[in-house]
Amino acid sequence: LPVLTQPPSASALLGASIKLTCTLSSEHSTYTIEWYRQRPGRSPQYIMKVKSDGSHTKGDGIPDRFMGSSSGADRYLTFSNLQSDDEAEYHCGESHTIDGQVGYVFGTGTKVTVL
């Protein structure tokens, strides 16, 4: 199964930018991933899909200050002008088909703190 690795935490100052990383296992380095945001006590929310070529497709209502990019097996979520309500857990995930069986794997999540 693919493995997605995320650092457990990240922080930045209010108004600054922050770049989150999701690393795919090497044999799955060309996979597309999705980013989700989960504010404290809330359900996850789809943010965007990021492909291996760096192109990305955002969900409805996601502001322009959220951007996606890629480098090798790494997929990034960058957001600028950090706001207090950006404090959340950010999950990456990817879908796959193995031996005809469909599945989805999530990373362990990165908790973002706004200083």
- The residues of the shown chain that bind another protein, judged by CB under 8 A, are 34, 36, 38, 43-46, 49, 59, 91, 93, 95, 101-109
Task: Report the candidate in 3, 2, 1, 13 with the shortest Cα–Cα distance to residue 114.
Answer: 13
Answer whether 29's CB lies under 8 Å from 72's CB.
yes
Q: Which one, 18 or 109, has the nearer CB to another protein?
A: 109
Whether the CB-CB separation of 33 and 48 falls below 8 Å is answered with no
Report the nearest approach of another protein to the CB of residue 24 (Å): 16
Rounded to the nearest whole angstrom, what is the least distance from the CB of residue 50 to another protein in the complex? Answer: 11
- Choice between 25 and 108, CB closer to another protein: 108
Residue closer to another protein (CB basis): 59 or 80: 59
Q: Which is nearer to another protein, 34 or 86 (CB)?
A: 34
CB of 109 to another protein, least distance (A): 5
Give me the least distance between CB of 71 and another protein, in Å please: 21
